[in-house]
């Protein structure tokens, strides 16, 4: 077990939790990325568009700031210290995956952040069910694609 990676995971997770707490404390909002960004893109501009745009810009500038600082704060498996890892699949696979992620989080009203972090922290039954469901299908998908179909290099 890679304890450095685990510690970085824990520190990063706490930062994500602090972000979610901060957003609820200041604006009274759930820190769900598919909801915040999805609604920003698919709705007509409304009164609450400004903080969503600001959140999106912050989200993108976070990793950029770490890259500019250097210092090996990123947690990329193949090359520790890097901030952003390489995609695991080619364009075709990613086109399909993106559509599934978009439709799925749109219909299911949330992703890993909204259901998996904020929802579980509120002990919300819908979020527990959704998180259990997407973890299950993700585990099965990785098993099938890696071990039965041999995609993405079997390890």
Dihedral sign of CA atoms 13, 97, 2, 63 in order = negative
Site string for another protein, 8-47 (x = CB under 8 A): xxxxxxxxxxxxxxxxxxxxxxxx-xx--xx--xx-----
Q: Does 141 bind another protein (CB under 8 A)?
A: yes
- Residue 143 in contact with another protein, rule: CB under 8 A: yes
- Residues in binding contact with another protein, number by CB under 8 A: 120
Would you say 46 or 126 has its CB closer to another protein?
126
* Stretch 95-124 residues interacting with another protein (CB under 8 A): 95-109, 111-113, 115-122, 124
149 touching another protein, by CB under 8 A: no
Q: Which of residues 68-87 bind another protein (CB under 8 A)?
A: 73-78, 82-87
- Should residue 62 be labelled a site residue for another protein when binding is judged by CB under 8 A? yes
Alpha-carbon gap, residue 102 to 115, rounded angstroms: 15
Write out the two tokens for 131: 């998180």
Of 46, 54, 70, 81, the one binding another protein by CB under 8 A:
54
Tokens for 37? 């960004």
Question: And the tokens for 16?
Answer: 């994500």
Task: List, in sequence order, every residue forming a beta bridge with 81; answer none if it has no partner.
Answer: 74
What Cα–Cα distance (Å) separates residue 89 from each residue in 5, 31, 54, 146, 152?
23, 28, 30, 12, 7
């Amino acid at each position: 077990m890679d304890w450095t990676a685990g510690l970085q995971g824990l520190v990063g997770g706490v930062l994500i939790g602090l972000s979610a707490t901060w957003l609820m404390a200041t604006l009274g909002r759930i820190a769900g990325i598919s909801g915040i960004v999805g609604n920003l893109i698919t709705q007509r501009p409304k009164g609450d568009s400004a903080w969503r745009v600001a959140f999106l810009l912050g989200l993108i500038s976070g990793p950029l700031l770490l890259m500019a600082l250097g210092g090996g704060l990123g947690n990329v498996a193949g090359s520790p210290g890097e901030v952003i890892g390489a995609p695991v699949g080619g364009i075709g696979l990613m086109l399909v995956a993106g559509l599934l992620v978009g439709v799925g989080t749109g219909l299911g009203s949330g992703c890993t952040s909204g259901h998996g972090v904020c929802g579980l922290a509120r002990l919300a039954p819908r979020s527990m069910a959704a998180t259990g469901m997407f973890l299950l299908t993700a585990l099965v998908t990785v098993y099938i694609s890696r071990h039965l179909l041999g995609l993405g290099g079997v390890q």
